[in-house]
Structure 1
């Protein structure tokens, strides 16, 4: 009876998985040849040997089921880059798994965390209007509750709105964009000059000033992050486009020590209390996943610890001494800004070569631990090619050396032989 019950549960799970997988279409190189101007597609480009791709599979199927249940117009697909090289080349895929959205013949690349919520939010954001209208006070409040960072254009049509829409078309992959009239704003938001672009975050708001903030798109890219928050490796990589330095507390958030909590609170206090002083130059946050940072410094990183990262140059700064007080932290941040503290790492030739060696070693180690046979194949292939080239070189070089070798001088031997024959003939005549 128990065995029968287990069979029923297993069968139900298989049927459920098959039903969910049916929402994802397997695509090949003929996909781009079919006119799809009116369709929207969310596509995963994967490689069969990629462990991260295999981890994404159940998430991908869940996202497909979620979008289908919500009545989303987005179609879900996936394609094997090793079998469909034309499609991978068309999408300019450089790493796996790659996630992208096709809408109106425009490709939007997803760079966020590989989670159900992150991917679903990306699909809903890009598939909808570039700029969403907030037509009532209730809608505005609802948007503020849903989004921790809220960009809003306020006012009638203007050149500023044209620039705002243009920036939104490019940055919609990262954040939502809204427009509203003055009368739907919260009472605390007193914006005197219109038109204006405002960002609401961290319990407050501030407006874009072209004279002080420069390019609107660059300003949005800088301000689309919270003042202090938990940062993952995907978000840290995306912060590289903002042009700001990132002040980080590296902690173990699952088993926090007193020092971890102290570093987090200290950095958050600096981000809040000294916002006017540091917000133009720094992002502030804390990280639990250290893989990206260890790849940057090419070694193990102590936890807990503090550091500042310059993502535009792959450089990093470490405190010259222990950080025990708020004054120590502020001195460290000021030292970074006025170049008193040396930047380590970087993207020079030597550093790039060292990082390539480090990444290659880690990749091979990961492959050997997860798929030893594949690791042996990948390692033996270049060695086999090298041996083949050496054999061909040797085979071509030996006959060439033989062709240029001087023939032996046999004239002296022939002369000596002739003289010996003559002497023998004389000796024979005397004997007769």
Structure 2
């Protein structure tokens, strides 16, 4: 009798568990649309889905409104992945208690919950780029490819936003650590098959080899070893950037995470056909000097940046310097410009020789530091609004009429969010802008 009662208790318990689980799943319609979360179903959604991307928004926020169609376009694509990613949104202005609990202080705030573990997202927000970026979080650190056809499929699926590293004749364990460490920045794979057709397609002549492709810049390079003592990681880190990098708002963010100094060539118009020989010379020099980043920028394309290197209408261009990536740059004595009268590669080589021998003059940039350029990308209108609000609060506090509202973040908090917002590459229209609860 006692055994029968125990059995009935277990049956009741299992029935209740199944009922609860079913009711939890039934409240979400998984049809590729963006889920609308509330304070009552938020915890259930986070625990139900292995990977869920949540947009914490406010109805009045202009950035949030522009983001909505991008999420609607991305949701059905991400829902069809082998390991689906669910997109959801929560009105953090309406459910403010929940928002405060998880420390939402700007709109929109984007969070990726991977098996319940939250991580704030600062990547691109255009639908196609958002899909490619999020796919990396459910992909293995290192994909194991069985044949030529799977290599081709892997490269096609990876898209053009991130560099791709494929080890041919390499054991997965050799690059597994790099795959984990740099998962947010690149795709990693090893191929078990090393056929002659593959070697021709990916332009390497022996194995083992690590092939690096950067589709964005049409860059290709091969590493034949040694595969230990940090040499492999150094190659991977250097391959995140092309041999010569066009300097603009987006690529400045990439340079933020690179510790190398930048050989910067300033030209009048970086698209002019007459500069082809100069770019070839810079590429050749970059091949032989991988401890430096080689970049170029046009006055016509990025005048406010170029002005920082004391370039004006009287400056002879192209001008070449070595920039530390922040507030100082080195000018090599006697070699300030690249002339048309002499071979470009000879001049660049002489410049690098002078730099390495210390025949330089150190100068301060004219204007904001590197971080100043990054910070300027939050939008000048937002800066004016923030400065105005802070000024009003300080004036009223000095008169003893009002205390500082708890909802207004300090300038330090704004700088911290801007620093965080520049940790990954993203398109110009998708910058994560610090925002108080006020529409731009």
Report the TM-score when normalising by structure 1.
0.60
Contact kept, 8 Å, 1:198 with 1:208, in 2: the verdict is no
Aligned to 2:438: none
Q: How big is each residue's C-alpha offset from its partner over 1:191-234, in whole Å with a ceiling of 9 and x where there is no partner? A: 34x5x5443453442234356x7265454233223324556534
Separation in structure 1 between the aligned mates of residue 35 and residue 318 of structure 2, nearest angstrom: 42
**Is 1:77–2:97 an aligned residue pair?**
no
Separation in structure 2 between the aligned mates of residue 358 and residue 144 of structure 1, nearest angstrom: 32
Aligned to 1:241: 257
Q: 1:190 aligns with which of 180, 200, 205?
A: 205
Q: 1:62 aligns with which of 70, 73, 81?
A: 73
Q: Which has the higher contact order (CA 8 A, sep 6+)?
A: 2
Q: Secondary structure at the match of 1:269?
A: helix
Higher share in helix:
1
Q: Secondary structure at the match of 1:324?
A: coil
Q: How big is each residue's C-alpha offset from its partner over 1:124-152, in whole Å with a ceiling of 9 and x where there is no partner? A: 22222222222212332454565583212
Q: 1:151 aligns with which of 165, 178, 181?
A: 165
Separation in structure 1 between the aligned mates of residue 357 and residue 235 of structure 2, nearest angstrom: 23
Aligned to 2:362: 342
Separation in structure 2 between the aligned mates of residue 44 and residue 289 of structure 1, nearest angstrom: 34
What is the Cα-based RMSD across aligned positions, in Å? 5.0
Q: 1:298 to 1:264 in 2, by over 3 A?
A: closer
Matches within 5 A, 1:18-417: 23-26=34-37, 31=42, 36=47, 38-45=49-56, 52-68=63-79, 73-79=84-90, 84=96, 99-107=110-118, 110-144=121-155, 146=159, 149-155=163-169, 157=171, 161-162=172-173, 164-184=175-195, 185-187=198-200, 188-192=203-207, 194=208, 197-200=210-213, 202-210=219-227, 214=230, 216-228=232-244, 230=246, 233-247=249-263, 260-261=271-272, 265=276, 268-284=279-295, 290=302, 293=305, 297=308, 309-311=323-325, 313=326, 315-316=328-329, 321-325=336-340, 326=344, 327-334=346-353, 337-339=356-358, 340-345=360-365, 365-367=380-382, 377-388=389-400
Separation in structure 2 between the aligned mates of residue 208 and residue 25 of structure 1, nearest angstrom: 51
Unaligned runs of 5+ in 1: 1-19, 252-256, 392-432
Larger Rg, first or second structure (1 or 2): 1
Separation in structure 2 between the aligned mates of residue 94 and residue 278 of structure 1, nearest angstrom: 44
Q: How big is each residue's C-alpha offset from its partner over 1:39-60, in whole Å with a ceiling of 9 and x where there is no partner? A: 2122345577865555434333
Q: 1:387 to 1:32 in 2, by over 3 A?
A: farther
Separation in structure 2 between the aligned mates of residue 301 and residue 48 of structure 1, nearest angstrom: 46
Report the TM-score when normalising by structure 2.
0.59
Contact kept, 8 Å, 1:259 with 1:304, in 2: the verdict is no
Q: How far 1:121 moved relative to its partner?
A: 0.6
